[in-house]
Chains A and B, each alone.
Chain A
Amino acid sequence: MSEVGLDPERVVVREIDDEAHADAELFVGSPTIRVDGVDVQPPEEGEAPGLTCRVYHTRDGRVSPVPDPHDLRDALARVAARA
């Protein structure tokens, strides 16, 4: 966040601890990273909310438990550009 001029203190970590909470938040798995409310790697349409591990794909096609760092940087940069 610092790289793109955003304040790292503004990261909010939230625990989703039951199915009802997941439904309410449209939480499709852990970790879900949203920048200004927008998912860094939006889930496929119709993907059901739930307490599960999230499957991401890196830009070179590999399966990963976390988003591609480039996707995260791009999402942050988009928000920084609007600020």
Chain B
Amino acid sequence: MTPPLGDKAPAFALPDTEGVEHSLANGTFPATVVVFTCNHCPYALAWHDRIADSARDYSDRGVRFLAINSNDSERYPRDSLEAMQRRVRDEDWPLPYLHDESQEVARAYDARVTPDVFVLDGDGTLRYRGAPDSDYSDPTQGAAWLRGALDAVLSGEAPDPAETEPVGCSIKWKP
């Protein structure tokens, strides 16, 4: 079951593509964005630049972005750690790409698809969950729901909408 909006988001600690561990508890941030994503899903790829642009645009306001790949890389080798490392190396990623090999973090968040976006406030409370914006095929949407949620959280207000239907490829669970 998805953690309810207004509850503390599940804690986690995961390694990025360089082996550096990232934890929700590390550091102080006015907001944190957790995005479940992957390498092989067309929806995740279509939204990637918009999410990356958001990470760049909100970095000077102290917002932390964390991308997490939870897919089963045994059956889906394009989501292997090596493939994640290649992407980060070949592309200009402004956010760490974390490997959830056990899939425990995806289960804790009840992540369903890629991409699935969660926005946490400075206390680690879940304030938004859903899609980056309303249309994967329209880059001009610019991750408007995600940006709106961040603007609200940074202003101490409740996002509107606070929840949207995540759209994408299903998380590839291990058998």
Top 4 closest pairs, chain A to chain B, by CB: A65-B42, A53-B169, A63-B46, A55-B42
Cα-based distance from A65 to B169 in the complex (angstroms): 9
Residue B24 interfacial (CB < 8 Å)? no
> In whole Å, how far is A25's beta carbon from the nearest beta carbon of chain B?
17
Cα of A32 to Cα of B126 in the assembled complex, Å: 38
Q: Which residues between 2 and 38 of chain A lie within 8 Å of chain B, taking CB atoms? A: 19
B78 proximal to A (CB < 8 A): yes
Size of B's binding interface in residues, CB under 8 A:
13
Known interface pairs A53-B40, A53-B169, A55-B40; A63-B78 also in contact (CB < 8 Å): no
Chain B interface residues toward A at CB < 8 A:
40-43, 45-46, 75-76, 78, 136-137, 139, 169
Taking the complex as formed, is A62 at the interface, i.e. its CB lies under 8 A from any CB of chain B? yes
Task: Give chain B residues whose Cβ lies under 8 Å from the Cβ of A50.
Answer: 75-76
Asked whether A64 and B137 contact (CB < 8 A) given A50-B76, A52-B78, the answer is yes
Residues on A with C-beta less than 8 A from B169 are 53, 65
**In the docked arrangement, what's the CA distance between A34 and B78, Å?**
24
Complex-state Cα separation, A52 to B139, whole angstroms: 24
Q: For the complex, give the distance between the alpha carbons of A56 and B45 in Å.
A: 11
| Interchain CB contact under 8 A, B76 and A64 | no
Residues of B near A51 (CB, < 8 A) are 75-76
Q: Which residues of A have CB within 8 Å of B78?
A: 52
Which A residues are in CB contact (< 8 Å) with B43? 53, 65
Q: How far is the CA of A19 from the CA of B137 in the complex (A)?
A: 29
